[in-house]
Structure 1
């Protein structure tokens, strides 16, 4: 803590006279640099955390935390395995699943689609993702399906239209294999928020999928949701011996390994790169304090002759530099949160001004810029800025404290 004398001197140096306006300008630039560095780190880390969380939530929301995939696309004795999966500790739900890439056609337009056969509970889970229609009529035998919003847009199909699903592996005839084509009514249009899903997925009851694919009572995989996505490997470890050589267990990290590993590497790289902004700001603090010490050398010498201790001068200059860092960190914290709150409006404004599409869902996977602020990360960023600012004050503060009044005032 500063004494009254030390506080008076520090306040005088924080608000210099007009003749020292340049030093004040450099100190102000240092504060702004710290603010921008802290804000940039908070914004980027929050966006990347949000991107990972949103991506995981939406991918897991449709695919579960793990899949038991049968070899050759067929899972033998799946009823017994499904029961064992549901009885595994830590498993919230397990359901049969069929997934097969096929072709979808509507009024001459053809798109590659990914047909998914789900049970009634999984289909009911689409309710909070619907943009049109209802899943109430998507029942076995009704020939009604739900499709992604981007797929509907690409095909030009609307709610209530009939879409044809084409299975190239149809029935054999004397004239060769005839593709199997079945017409389904579009009963619901959903939007997961992941572009690749919304442009390809066609969801129908599992019985209808088995009829379309001519698989009988067979399924291709079992979808599993656990209590904790990050602990899915440990939770499903007891189930691996029961699966045996019938298939493999692939969790969300394995299925999307390249994507999430790239996000992790990019996250670390961005943190390191953006931390350099704070380091630059710290060097500005260092230079402004050195300039202040040099301009106040005579004043410091007089204070020393009047009884000011080296410790007091050391505390004064450390306080000045640290206050600049603290004010910059607080301002950066506020700026970062304001930007995150209006992030989508900022993106839309920049797109409007530049005429460029900065957030193309086909490239970014998600339809909107996400954000998730981690209090621990924010605390680390703010503390890092303050600590760096404190370290930058040590050299000029020690230089001021070591001033020899005899040498300075010898010729005065």
Structure 2
């Protein structure tokens, strides 16, 4: 029976008016601090989740879920290998590509690019490139004249002041057998479309061309650089890529999309953990306020505690009574924090745009953060982790004052009352 009674008295103490108004202020400050800490943690972790999700979607959408290469040489038997891979489970598409580097030159302005040769008719089987082209179809890469067509990113087009229909020069280094670098190739290309992925890496250096034109420019003849593969589940791309690698043998290398940006995603996860630890200090500060508030309550209720002990109330019952009080403060703070945090996370992008417009600043630079907006994604696991962390810290903070109260000697407490 003592547990319900301890809860009842603990809740009564929480609702009762206090003679010491400063103690009430500290209790309110504690609840506010917990709510603030929980809200900030939820907002930051939601932004990190959204950022990781958006970058992953853009990278996988432009580079396919996995890529297969033949070690050391161009892939000459690519038709046979592609047919073999298509028969494997979870594979939705396999298409060839040719990759090379060069420099685009326009009226004295030059920029280095990574040029991908793709098949316009089947590229949508492995990437989402068509989604970033607006109203321009991928079939626009096909050229009817002597000048091949090319599609470039929006940042690159802005830098070189190019628009659809313009002609630009491509400079590609050539290597002569046993002679090293030979005379570079100069190739005229016509801008057939401009895509905008929203990631600086692609919009500033990425360009695509018809695979047959790329084969002539980079002298690939009947070979290709490799195969791009799409699976039915992006989240299991690593597992499926490993299965294909084992199926093809040691002569071939199969990399899933995360391996091309492994360091970036590892750094992102490390940053998320570090931010969680640092921002948890806000909750720790609020926990010190709980200690101060509870100590004041214990001093204020010395007579009540002594009377309860005289009536036979056990020390553990006193301990439970004050733990209930501290627990309720922490639970209210956590609930408020979850409400504020989830609401604010939903409007984070709108708030960022308002701040940028109000102060005429750019908070997120695409050349640094890969995207130009603020994405958020609230995950249940993060809400549980934040809530349990906050509750654990607050429970530890509550224990000391409650333990002090349970060890009060009734005679000493009533001696001068």
Output the TM-score relative to the length of structure 2: 0.88
Aligned ranges for residues 13-412 of structure 1 at < 5 Å?
A: 13-17=14-18, 19-72=19-72, 74-119=74-119, 120-122=121-123, 125-131=128-134, 133-139=136-142, 141=144, 143-169=148-174, 177-240=182-245, 243-244=248-249, 246-305=251-310, 310=315, 312-352=317-357, 356-412=361-417
* Aligned mates of 1:145, 1:28 — CA distance in 2: 63
Per-residue CA deviation, residues 50-70 of structure 1 (Å, 9 max, x unaligned), is 222211111111111221123
The structure-2 alpha-carbon separation of the partners of 1:13 and 1:301, relative to structure 1 and needing over 3 Å to count, comes to farther
* Aligned mates of 2:6, 2:327 — CA distance in 1: 18
Partner of 2:20: helix, strand, or coil?
helix
* Aligned mates of 1:171, 1:403 — CA distance in 2: 92
After superposing the two structures, state which structure 1 stretch, 151-160 or 350-359, moved more: 350-359
The structure-2 alpha-carbon separation of the partners of 1:244 and 1:10, relative to structure 1 and needing over 3 Å to count, comes to closer
The structure-2 alpha-carbon separation of the partners of 1:141 and 1:245, relative to structure 1 and needing over 3 Å to count, comes to farther
* CA positional deviation for 1:102: 0.9
* CA positional deviation for 1:283: 2.3
* Aligned mates of 2:106, 2:278 — CA distance in 1: 49
Contact 1:134 1:187 in 2 (8 A): no
* CA positional deviation for 1:305: 4.6
Contact 1:66 1:223 in 2 (8 A): yes
* CA positional deviation for 1:362: 0.3
Contact 1:92 1:225 in 2 (8 A): yes
Per-residue CA deviation, residues 160-204 of structure 1 (Å, 9 max, x unaligned), is 3223322232999xxx95433333332222112211111111112
Contact 2:98 2:224 in 1 (8 A): yes
Per-residue CA deviation, residues 258-302 of structure 1 (Å, 9 max, x unaligned), is 111211222222222222222222222122101211122123324
Output the TM-score relative to the length of structure 1: 0.89
* Aligned mates of 2:408, 2:309 — CA distance in 1: 8
The structure-2 alpha-carbon separation of the partners of 1:309 and 1:241, relative to structure 1 and needing over 3 Å to count, comes to closer
Gaps of 5+ in 1: none
